[in-house]
């Protein structure tokens, strides 16, 4: 699918400033969207919106369908009469990074209070809206709510350590637990209702401003998820719920042992027998929340790296065939042609290219990858065709300023020569290069728009700890309001006009 020419910003809602330790779906997100509109930006890209689990990463969620309760705006709940202003009194949170544990404790307590207030004093109209939501989302919501309630009851332990009859989904046992945990289950459903209501208002506001939201579909789900627990027959598990194989990528230039992700792998043969219904539903629900979807690790649909469970590294894996065109043809037949971006980074073989081209999907170009070889590097702007999306960097890259500071002298020389710059304003050199390329879409992480260094890096792949998806402090956000976003207004003639009417990409 060919997209209209547009540019935008990569920023997950958690990175917005917020009073309660994390960005949310409150006032600041609308302010951010207004800024995008003022600067002629038409795209806003986010990470997966699901409830984060292991490592607090949006790429390891408890569900492929649910929303993250931590994004719920507490101030909006005050406006709706579900909380009082005094409920929001709190000790100071870290203003520069999301410290998840205190955020989880604070927000969970207030979300539970909001649920109790709803049960006590909600109007007939509010009850009707909640009931309608539960009915509309029943296909995934019932399993998810039970899973999360059971997880809380088992102190957060992984589902395959629970009682055997829960692991094997014994119907009589599940019925007993549904009765026992009815209030906790209702709480889980209700906070999903709150999330969806708030998010859909945000999306509607973005669309009213002419902004399209780009979401993210990771190819794999987390092992500790409602998806894996409630559909064990779709994965390579033994009878006790232990993975037989896990996902990863093989050794390469960047890692001698590869990357061992640990996600459970799909039984594609079983999914095909069932008409890929789980995937159809996943795409359908995703496009209720976003306008465009980026498919993470697209190459895994052609072939994926399968590692036997228990291995300490990804070395002893093997390439296995994915579903290929059959999956995408089935989804297209069910839902029509969808606006999809293929994340085709890494080791890309001809079968991956053929799969992407068969469905006319735009791939990705990363400017930070463009300067470590000669003029034939296909990440250099003069090699692009229109049907691609160019990024200065992604969430897995260092910030552009941080990358350039660490680049070799040879790479810096190539950058200066190709971009005809002294490198003193490298972030905006990259932004200018992206905007003036022939790529139909150009995306810039907010950290690059602000010219921030490596301290603001969003994520470092294959690591855990104090790095995932940093937030932007209120003071920095104010700086963005007063300086960096205003800088866009110095570009309309030179860059924004060029972006709307692209010239041929210059050779180096």
Range scoring the smallest mean pLDDT among 371-380, 435-444, 467-476, 479-488: 467-476
The pTM (predicted TM-score) of the whole model is 0.93
Question: CA-to-CA distance for 130 and 116, rounded, in angstroms?
Answer: 14
Longest CA pairwise span in the chain (Å): 70
Q: In this structure, what DSSP letter does residue 174 have?
A: H
In tens, the pLDDT along 16-53 reads: 888 899 999 999 999 999 989 988 899 999 999 999 98
pLDDT of residue 388: 98
pLDDT of residue 467: 43
Q: Which of 143, 216, 224, 296 does the annotation list as catalytic?
A: 296
Question: CA-to-CA distance for 51 and 56, rounded, in angstroms?
Answer: 9
DSSP result, 389-400: EEES--TTSPPH
Domain coordinates of the chain in residue numbers? 231-361
In tens, the pLDDT along 294-333 reads: 999 999 999 999 999 999 999 999 999 999 999 999 999 9
Q: Which of 143, 343, 344, 398 does the annotation list as catalytic?
A: 343
Catalytic residue at 343?
A: yes
Name, in order, each residue with C-beta under 8 angstroms of 53's C-beta and a sequence gap of 6 or more. 60, 61, 62, 222, 224, 225
Take residue 242 and report the two structure tokens written for it: 């232990």
pLDDT of residue 480: 56
What's the average model confidence in pLDDT over 158-171? 98
Q: Helix or strand or coil: residue 479? A: helix
In tens, the pLDDT along 183-192 reads: 999 999 999 9
In tens, the pLDDT along 43-66 reads: 999 999 999 987 888 999 999 999
pLDDT of residue 159: 99
pLDDT at 492 over 50: no
- pLDDT confidence band for 505 (50 / 70 / 90): very low
In tens, the pLDDT along 257-280 reads: 999 999 999 999 999 999 999 999
pLDDT at 500 over 60: no
pLDDT at 470 over 60: no
pLDDT of residue 483: 57
In tens, the pLDDT along 70-107 reads: 999 999 999 999 999 999 998 888 877 788 899 999 99
pLDDT of residue 76: 98
Catalytic residue at 396?
A: yes
DSSP result, 67-113: --GGGS-HHHHHHTTSS-GGGG--PPPPSSS--HHHHHHHHHHHHHH
Top pLDDT among 478 and 106 is at: 106
Q: Which of 99, 396, 411, 453 does the annotation list as catalytic?
A: 396
């Amino acid at each position: 699918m060919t997209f209209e020419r547009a540019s935008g910003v990569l920023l997950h809602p958690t990175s917005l400033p917020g009073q309660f330790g994390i960005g949310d779906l409150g006032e600041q997100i609308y302010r951010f969207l207004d800024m995008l509109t003022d600067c002629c930006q038409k795209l806003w890209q986010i990470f997966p919106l699901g409830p984060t689990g292991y490592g607090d990463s949006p790429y390891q969620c408890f569900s492929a369908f649910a929303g993250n309760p931590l994004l719920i705006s507490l101030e909006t709940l005050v406006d709706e009469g579900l909380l009082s202003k005094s409920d929001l009194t709190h000790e100071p949170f870290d203003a520069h990074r999301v410290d998840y544990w205190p955020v989880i404790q604070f927000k969970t307590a207030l979300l539970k209070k909001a649920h109790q207030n709803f049960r006590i004093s909600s109007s007939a109209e509010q009850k009707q809206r909640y009931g309608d939501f539960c009915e509309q989302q029943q296909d995934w919501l019932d399993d998810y709510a039970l899973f999360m309630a059971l997880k809380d009851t088992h102190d957060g332990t992984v589902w395959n350590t629970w009682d055997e009859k829960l692991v094997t989904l014994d119907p009589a046992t599940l019925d007993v637990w549904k009765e026992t945990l009815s209030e906790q289950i209702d709480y889980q459903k209700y906070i999903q209702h709150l999330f969806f209501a708030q998010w859909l208002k945000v999306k509607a506001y973005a669309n009213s401003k002419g902004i399209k939201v780009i979401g993210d579909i990771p190819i794999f789900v987390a092992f500790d998820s409602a998806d894996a627990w409630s559909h064990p027959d779709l994965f390579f598990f033994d009878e006790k719920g232990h993975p037989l194989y896990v996902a990863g990528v093989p050794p390469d230039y960047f890692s001698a042992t590869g990357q061992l992700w640990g996600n459970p792998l799909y039984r594609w043969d079983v999914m095909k027998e069932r008409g890929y219904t789980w995937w159809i539903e996943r795409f359908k629900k995703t496009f209720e929340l976003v306008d465009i979807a980026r498919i993470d690790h697209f190459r895994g649909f052609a072939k994926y790296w399968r590692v036997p469970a228990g291995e300490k590294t990804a070395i002893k894996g093997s390439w296995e065939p994915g579903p290929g065109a059959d999956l995408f043809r089935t989804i297209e037949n069910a839902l029509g042609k969808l606006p999809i971006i293929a994340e085709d980074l890494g080791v890309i073989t001809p079968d991956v290219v053929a799969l992407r081209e068969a469905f006319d999907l735009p791939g990705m170009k990363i400017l930070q990858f463009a300067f470590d070889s000669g003029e034939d590097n296909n990440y250099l702007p003069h090699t692009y065709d229109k049907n691609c999306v160019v990024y200065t960097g992604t969430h897995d890259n260092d910030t552009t300023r941080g990358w350039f500071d660490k680049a070799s002298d040879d790479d810096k020389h190539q950058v200066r020569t190709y971009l005809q710059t002294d490198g003193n304003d490298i972030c905006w050199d990259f932004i200018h290069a992206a905007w003036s390329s022939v790529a139909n879409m150009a995306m810039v992480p907010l950290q690059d728009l602000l010219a921030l260094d490596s301290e603001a890096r969003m994520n470092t792949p294959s690591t855990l700890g104090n790095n995932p998806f940093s937030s932007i402090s209120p003071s920095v956000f104010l700086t963005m309001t007063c300086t960096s976003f205003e800088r866009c207004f110095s570009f309309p003639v030179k860059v924004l006009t060029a972006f709307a009417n692209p010239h041929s990409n210059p050779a180096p």
